[in-house]
């Protein structure tokens, strides 16, 4: 076979090279021609388009989920409001000057507004920035009249949080405020944008992820003055892009709170500057009302609160920002006496009929532990009815510190109840080991103090309410709940919360029977400590508690303040439905202060709330209706 000469391939290579050079040359000629056309012939038109048209992505705010009470009455909703936004790329100094003038902003507010605009850099200068939230209709009218003088400034209609009943149930509902720069930096999923509000307290914080919803977005075209444009030219610029994504509203929350019960509870505290009260449903553990006084105004905190007002709230000695039902530990006083009583009965360390002589004090070593007065000979039942400290000093010696701690923990004391709200604290129940860890020699006197709810024993009003609800229902300790269900904005069920049992206590029914009998005597017998608070026709059982408190000054001097006033109760006696606990800070004697408040709550609950509930249920069954009638005023 003949071999081809290499020289025979050279003409073919040259021919192909000429073709390639021709194709490349033609391509460059066409490219240069097109560039000449765009830059020379049509350059002016394209420059005008690039200078006057900007594709901007607008964020469409979502609507935050609503909050209802257990009967479907709106507690937190959203009202229309108008916010002022500005796109930093388009604003002018003269326009900002006009904006500040029309909104009548104070010098400090003007300075802050300008600083926020100047702080925006890079591509973010093309994004709208929230400047002023919730302007009045008069301000809106003035801005509309001078719109052409404020390029880049727009007014956006959006939903603003509205707490329908003012400060009613403020500590349960909570409030919102603006998301911080640190939170925006940590928000990897981009749920929030500058100026957005986020739950800071109460249910607003607890269910933030459910309530907030998902924002939408829309791509628009604006001119050099930041004004939105429309027409075929805009459609051409936006062609092929995802122009609009609709927002998803937040989920709605239905609470276990009953607005009527909450209102009568808060009204009952009207004569006391600093107090707390809670009402639990005995058979479920659900919270029907939770009040901490004084309360804050969530509508004010959710708006732009002034520095003066914020400082006033912080410095208020009655601590309106503190949820005293969940976040404060108190000496429970004599309300705690049921714990050593249960320990003594369950450990068979005492005969409930055995009597102890009370001479008004109990001598122990070189110390004397005092009682309220001379009770004479009393057994366990009488000691509870008359609140005899001497009997419980003696009982504490027999039972011991650790046995009391065991039964206290069994009833949920010394640890958070698990309600999950407002950073609940757990109270404290001391043990011998705790004193050893503190390198503090254990003394039996510590046990005596613990037996009457003093010393190092601490509890929250919710813990004491849970304790007495468990006694009332015969030994079922429930997890307190404040949320009943989560639903979509259209009403579809997302999550439902059924009553949850923490534990069923291994306590003898005879022990509960004795305690309930004694607690009934506290309210209904002549020697009962709460007899003066008794209301005719109101069936209730409970226990007073007057807890001694002190304050140590810098110079080491101790000043004794007025005692904290407690009353823990349940009603009615035969078939308990509710447990009520009232704490009045530095109120003094429980029989004169806390007990009357709790009895008023119980009276009004069964006088007003229960009949209305029955009437609603009857009316609904007859008519097949589920709508809730308007809230009627209490007499």
Confidence of residue 30 (pLDDT cuts 50, 70, 90): confident
For the segment 459-467, the average pLDDT, to the nearest whole number, is 98
* Whether pLDDT at 170 is above 80: yes
Instruction: Give the side-chain half-sphere CA count within 13 A for 87.
Output: 22
Note the pLDDT of residue 629: 43
Per 3-state DSSP, the chain is made up of helix, strand and coil in percentages (nearest 5) of 40, 20, 40
Report the DSSP beta bridge partners of residue 357: 377
Note the pLDDT of residue 97: 92
Note the pLDDT of residue 156: 82
For the segment 129-142, the average pLDDT, to the nearest whole number, is 88
* Whether pLDDT at 7 is above 60: no
Question: Tens of pLDDT along 278-318?
Answer: 999 999 999 999 999 999 999 999 877 778 888 999 999 99
The residue among 222, 230, 231 whose CA lies nearest residue 152 is: 222
Chain-wide mean pLDDT for the chain? 88
The domains of the chain, with CATH numbers, are 321-481+495-549+557-623 (3.40.710.10)
CB of 290 closer than 8 Å to CB of 270: no
Note the pLDDT of residue 529: 97
Q: Is 0.85 surpassed by the pTM of this model?
A: no
Is 250 in a helix, a strand, or coil?
A: coil
**Higher-pLDDT residue of 504, 40:** 504
153-157, 276-280, 581-585, 599-603, range with the lowest pLDDT:
153-157
Structural tokens at position 589? 């004697």
Question: Tens of pLDDT along 378-407?
Answer: 999 999 999 999 999 999 999 999 999 999
For the segment 358-367, the average pLDDT, to the nearest whole number, is 86
Note the pLDDT of residue 627: 43
For the segment 577-595, the average pLDDT, to the nearest whole number, is 96
* Whether pLDDT at 48 is above 60: no
Q: Which residues contact 119 (CB under 8 A, 6 or more apart)?
A: none
53-57, 483-487, 596-600, range with the lowest pLDDT:
53-57
* Whether pLDDT at 630 is above 50: no
CB of 46 closer than 8 Å to CB of 230: no
Question: Tens of pLDDT along 528-538?
Answer: 999 999 999 99
Note the pLDDT of residue 52: 47
3-class secondary structure for 496-527? ECCCCEEEECCCCHHHHHHHHHHHHHHHHCCC
For the segment 97-126, the average pLDDT, to the nearest whole number, is 88
Confidence of residue 5 (pLDDT cuts 50, 70, 90): low
Note the pLDDT of residue 485: 97
Question: Tens of pLDDT along 556-583?
Answer: 665 668 899 999 999 999 999 999 999 9
Residue 38 CA to residue 418 CA, distance in Å, equals 70
């Amino acid at each position: 076979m003949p071999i081809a000469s290499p020289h025979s391939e050279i003409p073919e290579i040259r021919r192909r090279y000429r073709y390639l050079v021709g194709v490349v040359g033609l391509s460059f000629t066409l490219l240069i021609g097109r560039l000449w056309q765009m830059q020379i012939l049509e350059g002016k038109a394209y420059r005008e388009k690039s200078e006057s048209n900007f594709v901007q992505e607008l964020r469409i705010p979502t609507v935050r989920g609503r909050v209802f009470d257990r009967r479907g009455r709106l507690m937190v909703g959203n009202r229309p409001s108008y916010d002022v936004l500005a796109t930093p790329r388009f604003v002018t100094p003269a326009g900002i000057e006009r904006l500040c003038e029309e909104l009548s902003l104070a010098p400090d507010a003007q300075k802050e507004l300008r600083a926020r605009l100047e702080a925006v850099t890079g591509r973010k200068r093309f994004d709208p920035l929230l400047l002023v939230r919730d302007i009045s209709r008069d301000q809106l009218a003035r801005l509309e009249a001078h719109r052409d003088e404020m390029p880049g400034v727009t007014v956006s209609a959006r939903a603003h949080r509205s707490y329908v009943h003012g400060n009613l149930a403020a500590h349960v509902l909570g409030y919102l405020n603006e998301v911080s720069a640190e939170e925006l930096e940590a928000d990897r999923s981009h749920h929030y944008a500058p100026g957005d509000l986020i739950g800071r307290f109460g249910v607003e914080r607890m269910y933030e992820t459910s309530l907030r919803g998902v924002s939408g977005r829309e791509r628009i075209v604006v001119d050099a003055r930041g004004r939105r444009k429309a027409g075929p030219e805009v459609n051409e610029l936006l062609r092929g892009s995802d122009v609009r994504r609709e927002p998803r509203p937040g989920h709605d929350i239905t609470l276990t709170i009953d607005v009527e019960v909450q209102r009568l509870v808060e009204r009952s505290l009207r004569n006391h500057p600093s107090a707390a009260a809670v009402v639990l449903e005995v058979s479920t553990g659900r919270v029907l009302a939770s009040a901490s006084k004084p309360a804050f105004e969530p509508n004010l905190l959710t708006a732009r609160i002034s520095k003066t007002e914020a400082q006033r709230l912080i410095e208020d000695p009655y601590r309106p920002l503190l949820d005293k039902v969940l976040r404060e530990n108190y000496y429970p006083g004599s309300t705690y006496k049921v714990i050593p009583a249960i320990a003594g009965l369950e450990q068979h360390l005492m005969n409930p009929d055995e009597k102890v002589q009370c001479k008004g004090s109990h001598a122990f070593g070189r110390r004397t532990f005092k009682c309220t007065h001379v009770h004479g000979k009393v057994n366990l039942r009488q000691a509870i009815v008359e609140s005899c400290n001497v009997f419980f000093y003696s009982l504490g010696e027999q039972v011991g510190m650790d046995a009391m701690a065991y039964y206290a923990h069994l009833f949920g004391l010394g640890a958070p109840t698990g309600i999950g709200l407002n950073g609940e604290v757990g109270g404290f129940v001391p043990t011998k080991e705790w004193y050893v860890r503190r390198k503090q020699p254990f003394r039996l006197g510590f046990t005596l103090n613990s037996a009457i709810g003093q010393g190092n024993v601490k509890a929250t009003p919710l813990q004491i309410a849970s304790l007495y609800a468990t006694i009332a229902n015969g030994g079922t300790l429930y997890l307190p709940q404040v949320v009943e269900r989560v639903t979509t904005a259209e009403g579809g069920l997302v999550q439902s919360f059924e009553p949850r049992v923490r534990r069923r206590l291994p306590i003898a029914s005879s022990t509960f029977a004795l305690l309930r009998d004694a607690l009934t005597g506290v309210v209904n017998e002549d020697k009962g400590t709460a007899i003066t608070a008794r209301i005719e026709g109101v069936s209730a059982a409970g226990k007073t508690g007057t807890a001694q408190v002190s304050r140590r000054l810098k110079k080491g001097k101790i000043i004794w303040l007025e005692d904290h006033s407690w009353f823990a109760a349940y009603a009615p006696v035969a078939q308990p439905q509710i447990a009520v606990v009232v704490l009045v800070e530095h109120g003094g004697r429980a029989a004169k202060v806390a007990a009357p408040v709790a009895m008023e709550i119980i009276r009004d609950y069964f006088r007003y709330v229960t009949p209305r509930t029955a009437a609603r249920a009857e009316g609904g069954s007859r008519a097949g209706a589920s709508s809730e009638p308007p809230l009627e005023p209490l007499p």
